[in-house]
Structure 1
Amino acid sequence: TGMFLVAAGIEISARTGSAMVWAGGVPDILIRRFGSGSIEHIAARHLPLGIGGDELFERSFDMLALEPGDRLYMLTDGVTEAENASGEMFGIGRLKQSIGEHADPDGIFDRVMTNLETFRAGHAQNDDVTLLEYVCNPGLEHRISQRLRIGAGSRRQVSTEWHIDMHLNAEALRDFDPRPVVTQLVMDVQGLYNHRERLFTILAELFSNALDHGVLGLDSAMKRSSEGFSEYYRLRAERLAALADGWVDISLNHQPSMDGGQLNIQISDSGAGFDPKILEQATDRVCHDNAELFCGRGFSLLRQLCDNIIVHPPGNLTEAAYAWRHDNEHANPHPGE
């Protein structure tokens, strides 16, 4: 249709304030830190919805740590692209200055809108102007979420021991995406509905690494440019359609604990593997700056979501552990540490 939709979604933990961010084609999301007043950017690293087919859609999230008092700002480009009579745009610089200069944090939102109107000086508005401000208060949000769960009559989850194995040969890999099915299976067996997005992201990253890099032999470095990004997924579709040999094995093992349980995930593939030592370099900064690493930003994300993750030599078997508690929160507020 030629139509597309820019979008962003954020899931924030009521207990810890940690956030999962998916952003496609939107302006940078801004965070004003409470203590220092510094401003950080979260750039949209996904394509807008509707550009390309399903093969171009990536479900992976960025993880973000928020502290009490931090403020998060989401906006449409109508804010930064608002013009005055001279055709000059308001821009990201003026927006950051408006957010950072105000001594009273509670007055930031009004200050931004006032500065924007002053800058436009009555000039006609050509696009929507939408600004959202979120103030992190994890203690309050946790109390509210507890009341909502009690009011809804939620019941305590029963932690049980179970094991599931799945073998996907070349034919199955061509025609079947196991990620939503396996995630729903975990929901049905153990009822971890509040962990759905995290578990789906873990399974999606592990399976994509096994299929794309292991079985299909694709190189993440291709995605460093927009042209390479499109070529990566064109080549992926071509190789997957022609796949005659290869496999991916998925194994889920759940063990109960006193206050919840732990889901252990193993994914192996028929690929040649890689040197696991390269993952020792996989800090958030390196994964962001060096697309030649196997992990890209995916392995950094896995380390943040999982309590433990191990890649066994020769690099085609990965184990991940995810612990949960009966209060529906991740057992470790800062997994991977």
Structure 2
Amino acid sequence: MLRSSRQLVIDIYYDDSVFAQHVCDALKQLDIARRIRCIPVAEWSAQAQLVRPSLLVVETVESFLLQRLRCPEQLLIVPNELSSKLLMQWEGDSLAWQQCSGTRVIQRIKSVADAFNNSRQLQAVRESLLWHNQRVDREHALVEHIFKNALSRNYLEYPHIRTLLTPAAKFNGDLCLVAPGSTGSLYVLMADFTGHGLAPATGALPLSQAFFAMVDNSVSVAEMVKEFNYRLNQLLPNEMFCACFIMELSANGQRVTYWNGGMPPAIVLGADGEIKQRLKAQHMALGVLDSDAFEAHTTTIQTHSDDRIAMYTDGVIEMLSQNREFLGLEALERYLMRYSGLDEFDLLVKKLAQFRGAQPLQDDLSLAILQCCPTGLGPQEEQDELEVLPFSFTSHLEAEDLKHLDVVATILGVLGRLPPIHHHRTTIYLLLAEVFNNALEHGLLGLDSRIKADPEGFAYYYQLRAERLAQLQSGSITIRVEYARAHHRLRFNVRNSGAAWEWPEFDETADGYSSYGRGIDLLRQLATDIEWHDGGREISFTYYAIPRSKH
């Protein structure tokens, strides 16, 4: 909100004429500011970035009017009214001194001062919003890169599956994971988190990491969903859950073991395109029940090499047409029966697109069709990793270091060169940046993230951050990193010398989204053994940089 108040200081640039001296003396007698600074006009520049409202008091004006003003909120005071030609040349306001009373002069000067102050406030808001938008874009790019890395093993190029994955927002709340087991079987997971966008998409990180890790060990579907439910039950807010369909296709393609929690029924189609079975949900979605109440039992069915299984999220059957009519399950089944072959998948997608037309998506849309033929998958080969010695280092940063160094990027530049850690660089950056920024902004600079909850709070928060960092004279942050080679374990400790800071609870808003606190929630999801000490001044956490496998 732009605020108007009595002007503190006004600058008056004057020439050496008797008229200018008379005006300056008269203005000093008027109540136009708490302080008036009279400056020779030789020090004035049309291209200067002025910091206070300014008046130009001159007897001869032609030379000034030929210059284009960088700051047009200036008042030109002259003896008599300017001609029409000169008025068109001057970009600021003008006042004929001989034709105005004292009251009129005060009003005109106040108007110019208010215009100047409003312009500067708007400029500061624009710069703050631009800085914030750039930061949000960088953070989104960072999170997008993390998602890409987390899903880098996703085997969507498997020749016997076709997928359609269309998010309603920038980040997808749906998840489709495909991975070969070590015994030649194939695992497929289709999941749908509550809502769409960044908030539900964050649930994809722990779920995908757990999925690929357990596939490597050929863990059963029942054991998988137990672990998935435990993790999501601990991580997700109360109003968020994850509907999930997960299946394992045996290496010979003749057996499917599946678990369906809260998803629409997967459809088994025969060679003739007729529906053979509907694999309906028999369980609650993931993250709703605690481990004691959760049911993990699976169902196994026999399949043939010409059978196909269609999996989809409710975004498909709830898709709206141009007439705002739902597609519905019956219509989807008709499309699937007509275009059931993998070679007809593009036609199926085209029909769905024709149904929707230009109607925007209301929910993420995901569809996959798998042919139940022998997988042709062999055992996975482990990727060789160069040995790295155990190490530890400590970096102690004083106020001047914090002002001028990109601390997190510098530390990652060192860690990222190590082969076992290289593929985890982006995730480590996110974790370290979160705890470092908390130490700096809350510990040393005394900022409160709740400021961001206000519609105008973002601009104000980051404006305060820049101002307080520039004024920081004392305080320090110490970062310690330890690497245990045997367990691929990185242990981080970040301590600041500032004020105590309280760990915020996850803000369970109606849409699962908060303007602050998301980084802490990601820290909970991606790191382990998180410990806070000394009133929040010190935090420690562990990250396991497990070497990747390749198939």
TM-score by length of 2: 0.39
Match of 1:102 among 312, 332, 339: 332
In structure 2, the partner of 1:206 is: 435
Cα pair 1:273 1:315 within 8 Å, conserved: yes
Letter in 1 for 2:474: D
**Residue 263 in 1 paired to residue 490 in 2?**
yes
- Report the CA distance between 1:62 and its aligned residue: 3.2
Cα pair 1:269 1:317 within 8 Å, conserved: yes
2:387 partner SS = coil
- Report the CA distance between 1:14 and its aligned residue: 5.0
Q: Distance between the aligned counterparts of 1:233 and 1:38, measured in 2? A: 35
Letter in 2 for 1:274: W
- Report the CA distance between 1:168 and its aligned residue: 1.1
Match of 1:248 among 477, 502, 517: 477
Cα pair 1:170 1:246 within 8 Å, conserved: yes
Q: Distance between the aligned counterparts of 1:157 and 1:195, measured in 2? A: 15
Matches within 5 A, 1:1-337: 9=144, 10-11=147-148, 12-13=150-151, 26=169, 29-31=172-174, 40-44=194-198, 62-64=202-204, 65=207, 68=246, 97-98=326-327, 102-103=332-333, 109-117=349-357, 155-189=384-418, 191-257=420-486, 260-275=487-502, 281-282=505-506, 288=512, 296-327=517-548
**Rg larger in 1 or in 2?**
2
In the superposition, relative to structure 1, how do residues 314 and 162 fare at CA in structure 2: closer, same or farther (>3 Å)? same
Q: Deviations over 1:223-273 (max 9, x none)?
A: 12441111111111111111111111110011121xx41000000111211
Cα pair 1:28 1:42 within 8 Å, conserved: yes
2:401 partner SS = helix
Cα pair 1:28 1:41 within 8 Å, conserved: no
Q: Distance between the aligned counterparts of 2:424 and 2:530, measured in 1? A: 18
In structure 1, the partner of 2:97 is: none
Cα pair 1:98 1:111 within 8 Å, conserved: no
Cα pair 1:63 1:301 within 8 Å, conserved: no
In the superposition, relative to structure 1, how do residues 283 and 218 fare at CA in structure 2: closer, same or farther (>3 Å)? closer
In structure 1, the partner of 2:16 is: none
Q: Deviations over 1:277-329 (max 9, x none)?
A: xx5x44877995676xxx81221110111122111132100001011323369
Cα pair 2:174 2:191 within 8 Å, conserved: no
In the superposition, relative to structure 1, how do residues 255 and 289 fare at CA in structure 2: closer, same or farther (>3 Å)? same
Larger CA deviation: 189-198 vs 64-73:
64-73
Larger CA deviation: 266-275 vs 154-163:
154-163
Instruction: Please list every run of 5 or more consecutive structure 2 residues that lacks an aligned counterpart in the other structure.
Output: 1-126, 156-167, 177-187, 209-243, 248-310, 371-376
In the superposition, relative to structure 1, how do residues 171 and 328 fare at CA in structure 2: closer, same or farther (>3 Å)? farther
Q: Distance between the aligned counterparts of 1:39 and 1:136, measured in 2? A: 20
Q: Distance between the aligned counterparts of 1:190 and 1:35, measured in 2? A: 30
In structure 2, the partner of 1:51 is: none
1:165 partner SS = strand
Q: Distance between the aligned counterparts of 1:16 and 1:43, measured in 2? A: 20
Cα pair 2:385 2:420 within 8 Å, conserved: no
In the superposition, relative to structure 1, how do residues 266 and 239 fare at CA in structure 2: closer, same or farther (>3 Å)? same
% identity of equivalent residues = 22
Q: Deviations over 1:147-197 (max 9, x none)?
A: 7xx8xxx64231421011111111111111211111121122454111111
Q: Distance between the aligned counterparts of 1:327 and 1:26, measured in 2? A: 30
Cα pair 2:392 2:483 within 8 Å, conserved: yes
Q: Distance between the aligned counterparts of 1:203 and 1:272, measured in 2? A: 20
- Report the CA distance between 1:27 and its aligned residue: 5.3
Q: Distance between the aligned counterparts of 1:213 and 1:99, measured in 2? A: 50
Q: Distance between the aligned counterparts of 1:218 and 1:63, measured in 2? A: 28
Cα pair 1:288 1:296 within 8 Å, conserved: no
Q: Distance between the aligned counterparts of 1:73 and 1:193, measured in 2? A: 38
1:41 partner SS = coil
Q: Deviations over 1:84-119 (max 9, x none)?
A: 7xxx9x7xxx7xx559873459878445412223x6
Q: Deviations over 1:13-65 (max 9, x none)?
A: 35699xxxxxxx955634278999866323357xxxxxxxxxxxxxxx93423
Letter in 2 for 1:272: A
Q: Distance between the aligned counterparts of 1:238 and 1:99, measured in 2? A: 55
Q: Deviations over 1:121-161 (max 9, x none)?
A: xxxxxx9xxx9968699xxxxx89x67xx8xxx64231421
Aligned alpha-carbon RMSD (Å): 4.8
Tell me the matched-pair count: 263
1:253 partner SS = strand
1:274 partner SS = coil
Q: Distance between the aligned counterparts of 1:186 and 1:218, measured in 2? A: 30
